[in-house]
Amino acid sequence: MATSMDDTNKKIVILGATGNTGLQLVEQALAHNYKVIAPVRSPEKLTHLAHKNLEVIKCDLLNPLELAKHLEGCVAVLSALGQPGLQISPMTFYEDSIKSIVTAMRNANVKRLICITSFYTKYQPEKYPFKFRLIIRPMIGRHLDSMYIMEQYLENECQDIDYTIVRPPRLLDQHIIEKEVKVNENEYFFPNQPTANQIPRANVARFMLDILKHEKYIRQAVAIDMSNS
């Protein structure tokens, strides 16, 4: 049975805070009275978010010793890290970053991690829609491959970490929609279920903060989507 964590004045670290989903996480976390640490490469991108409970720090996220210093005393790490743009050659961003994050968490004795990947990270063409095989996979396949390696690392080598992997579909830049967020535990998408195949980043951020508060889906990966009704 899931318990509930009092979020008042709890300190959390948000990675990827300058991205569109990360910004939603920061704004919503502050609204829920979290103290937010945001280690970023470019602090100037967050000057518009000045807040007494927000600390923005310039940090190399691929340096676990540097990152660990900013994780001390935090109850959780929420990662919205991503790599924009198309990628033709193989990439290692997601597996490299997660190894640095986990090493830093271990050094700082932080156990809770909630991170975002995507629908369809495991390549199973026989199970996936034709549109994915024809259009989506050629466009973002390198990202998905690196995300899958990241997921495998967490599942196989991080049993000391209370991780949750959140797999959303296409992300929308719009306000929260008051619709049901559907959850498919330990799946890569929603086979044979009517879903929207898209979700606002704001809803993803709210979902992540909700599962942090209620301590849900520990050491699980969950596909999420909006109801199509």
Over 70: is that where the pLDDT of 1 sits?
Answer: no
Q: For the residues 46-51, what does the mean pLDDT come to? A: 92
- Within a domain: residue 133? yes
Q: For the residues 15-27, what does the mean pLDDT come to? A: 98
- Within a domain: residue 4? no
Residue 67 is part of a domain; what is its CATH number? 3.40.50.720
- Within a domain: residue 134? yes
Of the given ranges (12-16, 42-46, 103-107, 220-224), which has the lowest mean pLDDT? 42-46
- Residue 174 is given by DSSP the state S
Q: Which domain holds residue 152?
A: 11-226
- Within a domain: residue 6? no
- Give me the pLDDT at residue 36, please: 98
- Within a domain: residue 3? no
- Give me the pLDDT at residue 6, please: 66
Strands (E), the chain: 11-15, 35-40, 54-58, 76-79, 112-116, 162-167, 170-172, 181-185, 198-200, 220-226
Question: Distance between CA 121 and CA 139 in Å, rounded?
Answer: 13
pLDDT tens figures, 180-202: 899 999 999 998 777 778 999 99
pLDDT tens figures, 79-119: 999 988 777 788 999 999 999 999 999 999 999 999 999 99
- Within a domain: residue 192? yes
Alpha carbon 35 to its chain centroid, in Å, reads 18
Q: In the chain, how many domains are there?
A: 1
- Within a domain: residue 2? no
